[in-house]
A = this chain, B = another copy of it.
């Protein structure tokens, strides 16, 4: 995802207005590596803008996705998650708490000699690792 300033220019270019709601969502996503759901973005937004609606958050996220500035991922934790990191990377999901981490991975080997596999033309590869994070693996002694 580009910087807030670049997004502003990009939105204007497309005839989309720059509203405080959009700017807030830009800010909340900038550098965000937590792979938040729409609800999570909404919750974070409420602290700065108590009257923002969930619907608006969904709309801004869809706008950004439409522009290719963020991507949505489905890792089996129920809701879609949004990721401002649109570079080639993959994910590690905690089966306990649902946390998602980024994983750098070279998938060029996976694609080699597979371009005509099953008669398909390949567009992308996603690798999802699953396991338990440290917190979910360690018994919580405070309880």
State which of A16-24, A52-60, A61-69, A125-133 sits at the interface with chain B: A125-133
Residue of B nearest to A134 (CB): B119
Residue of B nearest to A75 (CB): B74
Oligomeric state, in number of copies? Answer: 2
Are B126 and A121 within 8 A (Cβ)? no
Taking residues whose C-beta sits less than 8 angstroms from the other chain, chain A's interface range is 20 to 34
List B contacts of A76 (CB < 8 A): 74
Are B122 and A130 within 8 A (Cβ)? yes
Are A123 and B105 within 8 A (Cβ)? no
Are B117 and A92 within 8 A (Cβ)? yes
Are B131 and A120 within 8 A (Cβ)? yes
Q: Which 4 interchain pairs have the tightest Cβ spacing?
A: A119-B134, A122-B131, A120-B131, A126-B128
Given contacts A95-B123, A122-B131, 11 further A-B contacts (CB under 8 A): A92-B117, A92-B118, A92-B122, A103-B117, A110-B127, A119-B133, A120-B129, A120-B131, A121-B131, A123-B130, A128-B128
